[in-house]
Structure 1
Amino acid sequence: MDLDSDDYHDFFASLGLIWFLALWTIWLLGTWAARNRYRLRPRSPLSSAARTAVPGVSILRPLKGLDTNLYENLESTFTQEYPNFEILLCIADEDDQALPVVRELISKYPNVNAKVLIGVEDVGVNPKVNNLMGGYRSAANDILWILDSNVTVHSGTLARSVDALQTPTKNGERVALVHHVPFAFSTESRVGSRIEEAFLNTNHAKMYLAINTVAIESCVVGKSNLYRRSDLERVNGSLKRITSPEPNAKQDGLCGLPAFGRFLAEDNMIASALWHELGLRHDLSCDVARNVVGNMSLRDYIQRRIRWIRVRKHMVFAATMVEPLTESIVLVAIGSSSLKYLFGFSRWLYILVHFCMLLVIDLDVYTSLSGHPLPQSIKWEFLAGWVTRELLALPIFIIAIFGNTVEWRGRTYQVLKNGEVQHVSNHRSFLNSFAILRWYQPQKYQVLATDPVLP
């Protein structure tokens, strides 16, 4: 049967309406998950248990330079309400500016088992992994908590995370990794800082929580991850399921943390490997990883987003290509067109209602994660950052998708299959080919290996 133009219009309008409703369902699910998980944070019984009654945890913190709020970030691990842990502070060289801060904290908390490990082991192109190797090999415990240097956590986070790690999922599956949703906290009234704060605490958070509530695929940001070294030692990032019936079977060849030094987003790959290679699952505790955002310019923000879109493109291509259709500007165009065609709704009324409702649920997510409403002192800066983020999302994606190189720690990398990278030289950026876009040209500035990866 032949279809006329009206049939095609009906089909695409209906398809657009279905997509519109699906995205709003996901957003509402993320908002509900934030309320359900983070509005109440009970104290774990492990906080007051005897030392011998709880599993030991080795906390590994990779350090490079003076991150914003570094003293408070590191001190938050010294004050964990958990009876059995050690802290391994990993620094590349003795001249690092973070070393005096570390020594001051060790002196302040003499009863905490904390050690400084200086030096790197070159296992790949990822400097964070190279930096962590000393702590990884020296850790006295099987449970590892990898915590980035620009993150601060609540004193009860470790106990609640160990609880989650030891509790099977509702389907009875073993949990291999516990992670924490990033919550950005800006200490600077810079444009990029406010946009990053608005992005992580609203759009990113509700999508992250919704995906992890459905839990049909690994979706992990590596700001704060807890997992077992014995599990990590069985996987290598191939994402191929181990089929051997042996209970502790492992992949052939190099496994463990050294195997992930070839990836730019090692945290995401470790989570995916535990999920796919071992068939295990992840969980979130009721804590956030307070990601302290320092002096970030608009250029810094744009380049950060470009970098990780290019990485994701080689790790989850299909999901990355669909990403623009999940952005509010595109969705409002789809939704308003579909509703106008099918039901005669006013476009402008729909657009107004859409963005008002979106702002309401985003602020609700912020309140759930932070434990308080948006402070009046940053209200207008935050809202300006929220609007700017929504407007920039699609242009940044278009710029990012046409390219496979990223600037990281002052060096240029070619992103390969599955997020592996290699050094390249004499690279001419795609952006530099267009004079109008040269303002966005990546700069050779130092970028911490702790930048988030957005699934």
Structure 2
Amino acid sequence: MDVDDVTEAHSHPSAVPTVLAVAGVTWYCFIFSLGLLGCVSARKRYRLRPRSPLASADPSTVPGVSIIRPLKGLDANLYENLESTFTQEYPNYEIFLTVENDHDQALAVVRDLIAKYPNVNAHIIIGEETVGVNPKVNNIIRAYRQAANDILWVLDSNVMVDSGTLGRSVDALDGPPSAAPSSRKRIALVHHVPFAFATEYSLGSHVEQAFLNTNHAKMYIAINTVAIDSCVVGKSNLYRKSDIDRVDGTLKPVTSNDQSRHEKGLAVFGRFLAEDNMIASALWHELGLRHDLSCDVARNAVGNMSLADYFWRRVRWIRVRKRMVFAATLIEPFTESIVVGVLAALGLRYLFGFPMWLFLPIHFAVWLAVDLDVYASLAGYPLPSGAVWWRFVGAYALREALALPIWMFAIWGSTVDWRGKTYIVMRNGEVRRSNRDDEKSWFRWGFWKRSGKNDSHYEAIETSES
């Protein structure tokens, strides 16, 4: 190579850094726009919650609803959580409260509430029916079969709801009664974004609260606003039994002349750990139906959760999502504020010479402002100033810092613990029981050793199953 060739090579540097820089800035703009969409949608949806006309209608004119609440032990805020379903402003509903055995500590709370509200049609179901490895499905399957109504509302035991939630949710499920027929696909499932509140001061509880009420809520609302695919959390879901009885969890479209020999109905989802997500996906893909968020939140009581509990909870659901939506899980770190902010900062410095020390503080400040605006929309008020504000923002910052390390640890494994049992997550989110009680990792010891509590539903007191 002569001198002219060398000079020409130096005058035409590789285009790869430029392409990467442009890609990083473009990706940042996309993720930030998606978060901004979640923020704007939260303002529109949650800052006004009108009373449903069904609340004061004649019972014979409104669709009946069967509320199913699976219980296990004394969850944080259990009495208030369950009482919120006894006080719904809706004229036609029944409640099923289900426990695994007659020694469950939740039964005392249930019986107190039934005595307090004798006019509410409430039933206790004791004893599970094993239809799969998922204990929640095993717990509610008998109530599912005994439900007198087609519309079912399944709520986790750590969820409290506003008294108008049921009426507004049925409105969303059925649509306006006077609306003209349209080409829009029927709503098959109404769900509620979780809004966490810590009932005790523990670090993990506040980190979980900061996560659910900001970044998680923002992206959850944004993805459901775009609505290109199913995205549902099972804290509080309303759907029709007649629809569930038509799906089998294969996610293959059901045809009019379907002669499938696959079993159908709720029982088939007992083989999945994330049965809520699979039910939603089945309604979407098998029946071609859609979902909707009502203007209510599922107030999620978070009890005494250590930082280790938070760590393992996030690990569990990353490993489950990895088997269900691998591509989305793979790019998850590139949606987090630190990683995407650094990528954008590097890109802007390379393309325009914009200093990283200036961009990153602006980025984090704006990102935090958007997340806190989402919080205000869901809560109905802004985050209080003073010590509460600083405690929340401190937990928020810790959550952001932990996001990448947790993902890096979780992405390589397939073993999860749930309700005191160990499972191996397989294809499509199906699970099987594992005989291995302990994962051989230094993360399980020292600071990261589990506290021994069953963290899947934030249970405050151990039950007979431990």
Residue identity opposite 1:136 in structure 2: Y
**Per-residue CA distance 1:112-149 (angstroms, 9 max, x = gap):** 10010111000011111101012111100000000010
Instruction: Indicate the residue corresponding to 1:215 in structure 2.
Output: 227
Name the CA distance, whole Å, in 2 between partners of 1:151 and 1:228. Answer: 20
Name the CA distance, whole Å, in 1 between partners of 2:261 and 2:297. Answer: 36
Instruction: Indicate the residue corresponding to 1:161 in structure 2.
Output: 169
CA contact (8 A) 2:39 2:218 kept: yes
CA contact (8 A) 2:189 2:291 kept: yes
What secondary structure, in the 3-state scheme, does the structure 2 residue paired with 1:282 have? strand
Instruction: Indicate the residue corresponding to 2:362 in structure 1.
Output: 353
CA contact (8 A) 2:75 2:457 kept: no
1:49-448 matches, within 5 Å, as 49-167=57-175, 171-242=183-254, 244-245=255-256, 251-376=260-385, 378-426=388-436, 429=439, 431-432=441-442, 439-441=447-449, 445-448=453-456
**Per-residue CA distance 1:94-116 (angstroms, 9 max, x = gap):** 11110011011011111110010
> How big is the shift at 1:254?
1.2
**Per the alignment, do residues 450 and 276 of structure 1 end up closer, same or farther by CA in structure 2, a change over 3 Å counting?**
farther
Name the CA distance, whole Å, in 1 between partners of 2:43 and 2:458. Answer: 27
> How big is the shift at 1:440?
2.8
> How big is the shift at 1:208?
0.2
Name the CA distance, whole Å, in 2 between partners of 1:250 and 1:229. Answer: 20
Residue identity opposite 2:253 in structure 1: R
**Per-residue CA distance 1:73-98 (angstroms, 9 max, x = gap):** 00000000001000000011111110
> How big is the shift at 1:439?
3.7
**Per-residue CA distance 1:216-267 (angstroms, 9 max, x = gap):** 000000000000000000101111111x225xx5753211110000100000
**Per the alignment, do residues 366 and 251 of structure 1 end up closer, same or farther by CA in structure 2, a change over 3 Å counting?**
farther
CA contact (8 A) 2:100 2:127 kept: yes
Q: TM-score, normalised by structure 1?
A: 0.94
> How big is the shift at 1:8?
1.2
> How big is the shift at 1:449?
5.8
> How big is the shift at 1:10?
1.2
Taking only aligned residues, the RMSD between alpha carbons, in angstroms, comes to 1.9
**Per-residue CA distance 1:417-446 (angstroms, 9 max, x = gap):** 0111111113552524x79x7643556542
> How big is the shift at 1:407?
1.1
Name the CA distance, whole Å, in 2 between partners of 1:388 and 1:125. Answer: 34
2:28 equivalent to 1:20 = yes
What secondary structure, in the 3-state scheme, does the structure 2 residue paired with 1:122 have? coil
CA contact (8 A) 1:324 1:397 kept: yes
Q: How many residues align?
A: 445
Unmatched tracts of structure 1, length 5 or more? none
Q: TM-score, normalised by structure 2?
A: 0.92
Name the CA distance, whole Å, in 1 between partners of 2:440 and 2:174. Answer: 47
CA contact (8 A) 1:431 1:441 kept: no
More displaced stretch, 49-58 vs 420-429: 420-429
CA contact (8 A) 1:76 1:155 kept: yes
Name the CA distance, whole Å, in 2 between partners of 1:375 and 1:398. Answer: 34
CA contact (8 A) 2:245 2:265 kept: yes
Of structures 1 and 2, the larger Rg is shown by: 2
What secondary structure, in the 3-state scheme, does the structure 2 residue paired with 1:203 have? helix
Name the CA distance, whole Å, in 1 between partners of 2:204 and 2:222. Answer: 26
Residue identity opposite 2:297 in structure 1: V
Aligned sequence identity (%): 60
> How big is the shift at 1:409?
1.6
Residue identity opposite 2:69 in structure 1: R
CA contact (8 A) 1:176 1:282 kept: yes
Residue identity opposite 1:357 in structure 2: V
> 31, 38, 42: which one pairs with 1:30?
38
CA contact (8 A) 2:158 2:457 kept: no
What secondary structure, in the 3-state scheme, does the structure 2 residue paired with 1:261 have? helix
What secondary structure, in the 3-state scheme, does the structure 1 residue paired with 2:90 have? coil
Name the CA distance, whole Å, in 2 between partners of 1:388 and 1:394. Answer: 11
**Per-residue CA distance 1:17-73 (angstroms, 9 max, x = gap):** 110100110010000010010010011111111101110000000000000100000
CA contact (8 A) 1:310 1:401 kept: yes
Unmatched tracts of structure 2, length 5 or more? 1-8, 460-466
What secondary structure, in the 3-state scheme, does the structure 1 residue paired with 2:60 have? helix
